[in-house]
Structure 1
Amino acid sequence: MNDIDLNLYKKFAEKAIYKASDLLLEKFRPENSSELKKFYKSPNALVTNADMESDKKITEILNSPELRANIYSEESEKTIDEDSIFFWLIDPLCGTVPYSLGMDHWGINIALRDNEKIILSCLSSPSIGEYFSVILGEEVNRNGKPYKSTPPTNKLSESTIVLEVDGGLEWEKNIHHISKWITKVSQVNSFSSIAYPMIQMSLGRIPGGVFYGIDTVHFAAGAKIVESLGIRVTDKQGNNINWTKKEKLDCVVVGWPNIHQELINLM
């Protein structure tokens, strides 16, 4: 069970992300806003019927008899094989708040991990027509074609940096840490999504970001895409991320090497 055909798994992951993207685009910016049903599953955790339907579509496709990976999604979990070391890490709608407001800052994350690392990733930002995928050790594909990227700048003082903080409690917990570096950057952007800024970093438009209190399902897909393009992804000490954790990641620092190192030095 330790050897799998990653091209087969990628085929299913790409099918899932395209089908879910089509579903979400159909529900995006409805003429009647009441068509998008909203509720809070916990404080600061908005969910819509679009999240749930996207999750259902993705998990139905990945729950194929040809695949033996267990499923860990933001909205559901399913054990396919108790002996399997492989897990899908899924966020079926990363950026529920901007999606519900009719803004473009959302996407879909699908990643596959073994018992220590991410080995396959699919990442999309459907409303702007961007789809990325990669298998560990291979070239990144953007919209079906091999892709490489370059940093927009190598100086933190000239950079627009992404800052994502998951709610008021995380702000209260991390405000001092944020103050160590935020005054050294040119501009700061927040998107209430992880998929969208990771796409923007992949496109070479944003050189880095700092993320506080974010679950691995939001991060895994984007992390593998940007790492495969030469961007660093670590914790605030510069250590590699443990992708087997289900708990929130305390702090994740993402950036092209020079930008990443400047951020780590300030922290």
Structure 2
Amino acid sequence: MSISDHELAIEAAEAGAAVVRSHYGSSLTHFPKSAGDFATTADIEAEKAILDVLRGARPDDLVVGEESGRTGTGDNGRGWLVDPLCGTVNYAVGNLLASVNVALRTGGRVAVAASADPFTREVFWTDGVAAYVRRAGGDERLEPSAHSGLVDVNLDPPFPNGDVFSAARMLADESFTERFRPRVVSTTLAVAWVAAGRRAAYVTDGQLRDSVHFAAGIALCEAAGCVVTGIDGQPVHTGIGGLVAAADEQTHAALLTLVRHQGRRRD
């Protein structure tokens, strides 16, 4: 292997980000996927660029792409998770909030990952030991911080735990607004921002195991030293699912209290 896994993840994410930039502002063909969800020309071409990089360096690895599905056998226990454009709806209407996510799972664990911002040209990455941001060719270690009080929430369905947790209900809770300031950017770039200290936390419902959208962001947060669990406080990808990724223990505990408060109200 002439290139390390983390450098390969960065290279692949940057290749996808270059395609996303090149299509920005152009007339995009939409390809319907499900109710309210679609891909664009940029999604499909960015994924092809990413897969070309990965296949060129690791032809025997499994690759799971959001648009193309599974390719390769995965017999070697290595699998890449690729989200070529997270924030497609944002991007399609000219909003710059989007990311390109590439993550590698080995031995049942996602450690190596990269999340590229196509427009700032930053790449948030981890080698499984620490987390960094690469800009203008230099790397800076990520340091989580809850100082901003900004908490991003995901309001996109599905909501498998709607009987005990709703992000919309949490936003209406006075205890939330007394301590935190909500944000909704509708891209998992916001998960990387928790690792980078630009958000105090990120909260979402959903079953996220093997998610091409969330794998990179979760790996970044874990490597940066964030507190990462499901919405029930159990280790991520266990229990009822969802995600609470917080910069520190205090922020994490406060958000779990808000989640549990919802469950008690509905008993």
Which TM-score applies when normalising by structure 1?
A: 0.83
3-state DSSP class of the match of 1:99? helix
4+ long deviations beyond 4 Å: none
Question: Cα 1:114–1:142, aligned 2, differ >3 Å: closer, same or farther?
Answer: same
Instruction: Give % identity.
Output: 24
2:168 is the counterpart of 1:173? no
Letter in 2 for 1:119: A
Task: Give the equivalent residue in structure 2 for 1:246.
Answer: none
Residue 171 of structure 1: how far off its partner (Å):
9.0
Displacement of 1:39: 2.8
Q: Which amino acid aligns with 2:11?
A: K
Number of the residue aligned with 1:128: 120
Higher helix share: 1
CA contact (8 A) 2:154 2:167 kept: no
CA contact (8 A) 1:166 1:213 kept: no
> CA deviation digits over 1:111-137, x for unaligned, max 9?
001232112011111112221111112
Moved more, 108-117 or 138-147: 138-147
Asked if 1:212 corresponds to 2:201, the answer is: no
Shift of 1:152: 3.7
Structure 2 letter corresponding to 1:96: T
Pick from 126, 137, 152 the counterpart of residue 162 of structure 1: 152
8 Å CA contact 2:161, 2:205 repeated in 1:
no
Given that 1:124 and 1:199 are in contact with CA atoms closer than 8 Å, whether structure 2 keeps it comes out as no
How far residue 180 of structure 1 moved from its aligned partner, in angstroms, is: 6.4
Q: Residue 176 of structure 2 is aligned with which of 172, 185, 188?
A: 185
The runs of 5 or more residues in structure 2 that have no matched partner are 260-267
2:5, 2:59 → 1: CA distance? 7
Please tell me the residue identity of whatever aligns with 1:17.
Answer: A
Which residue identity is paired with 2:213? H
* TM-fit CA distance, 1:254: 1.1
Is 1:256 matched with 2:247? yes
- Residue 195 of structure 2 contacts residue 247 of structure 2 at CA under 8 Å; is this kept in 1? no
CA RMSD for the aligned pairs? Answer: 2.6
Superposed CA deviations along residues 184-232 of structure 1, whole A, max 9, x for unmatched, are 223221112112x123323312100111236511111011112222212
Distance of aligned partners of 1:70 and 1:185 in 2 relative to their CA distance in 1, 3 Å threshold? same
Report the Cα distance in structure 2 between the residues aligned to 1:24 and 1:109, rounded to whole angstroms.
Answer: 12
Q: How many residues align?
A: 248
| Counterpart position of 1:103 | 95
**Unpaired stretches in structure 1, ≥5 consecutive residues:** 244-248
Counterparts of 2:216 and 2:235 in 1: how far apart (Å)? 15
Structure 1 distance, partners of 2:127, 2:165, is 38
Deviation (angstroms), 1:58: 0.7
> Is the CA contact (8 Å cut-off) linking 2:130 and 2:224 kept in structure 1?
no
Could you tell me how far 1:250 is from its partner in structure 2? 4.2
C-alpha separation in 1, matches of 2:73 and 2:124: 28
Mapped to 1, the partners of 2:232 and 2:90 lie a distance apart of: 31
Q: CA shift at 1:20, angstroms? A: 1.3
> Does the 8 A contact of 1:112 with 1:119 survive in 2?
yes
Q: 1:139 to 1:45 in 2, by over 3 A?
A: closer
Task: Supply the AA of the counterpart residue of 2:188.
Answer: I
**Corresponding residue SS for 2:13:** helix
Q: 1:50: Cα distance to partner?
A: 0.6
Would you say 1:266 and 2:258 are equivalent positions? yes
1:23 aligns with 2:19: yes
User: 196, 203, 225: which one pairs with 1:203?
Assistant: 196
Alignment of 1:36-115 (within 5 A): 36-64=28-56, 66-115=58-107
